[in-house]
Structure 1
């Protein structure tokens, strides 16, 4: 299934002007890269993949709207899946985009 284009545009608008940001289609979504590292990605049905420090991710996951990301049934350490209901307004989306960007800014540029 293709990524949610409305969510992708909202993310693009939030990251507009942020240094080092590019976007790339991958894994059926649209990833937003910061200095070569994917920070967030627009997925299908309005979900958002967020890169996070694994310790923070464990704290932020609520088991309902925010869950550890899985790919092919395997957990992906350092990735969260945020459901569309937790992204209803721009402040909520900004929180998650900021978290992903802040984490990848701690990594060395690729």
Structure 2
């Protein structure tokens, strides 16, 4: 499944003025990186892949649209999948994107 280009455009609209922003195809989707650190991605499996502070993950996955991102059947702490139902409005999308961008910005530049 290809990533949702409309979602990628909506994310791009939110992050377009971020310093150090790059785009890269990763994990079957289109990732948005800040200073070389992935913040968010329009996922090739639908919805969005989001990188967050691992300490915040448990509270965030309590939201119905969020779940742990799994790699090889293992949940990855600090990585979430957000279903499209949680991205249906620009304010909701921007809220999720700001979490990813904020965390990516807190990491050392690559």
TM-score (norm. length: structure 1) = 0.94
Question: Secondary structure of the residue that 1:55 maps to in structure 2?
Answer: coil
Unaligned runs of 5+ in 2: none
Is the Cα contact below 8 Å between 2:29 and 2:43 reproduced in 1? Answer: yes
Unaligned runs of 5+ in 1: none
Is the Cα contact below 8 Å between 2:27 and 2:44 reproduced in 1? Answer: no
Q: Which whole-Å CA distance do the structure 2 matches of 1:89 and 1:46 have between them?
A: 16
Hey, which bits of structure 1, 4+ residues long, moved more than 6 A?
none
Question: Secondary structure of the residue that 2:14 maps to in structure 1?
Answer: helix
TM-score (norm. length: structure 2) = 0.94
**CA deviation profile, 1:23-42 (whole Å, cap 9, x unmatched):** 00111100000000000000
**CA deviation profile, 1:55-74 (whole Å, cap 9, x unmatched):** 10111112631001112211
Offset of residue 75 of structure 1 = 1.2
Match of 1:88 in 2: 88
Aligned residues: 110
Match of 1:51 in 2: 51
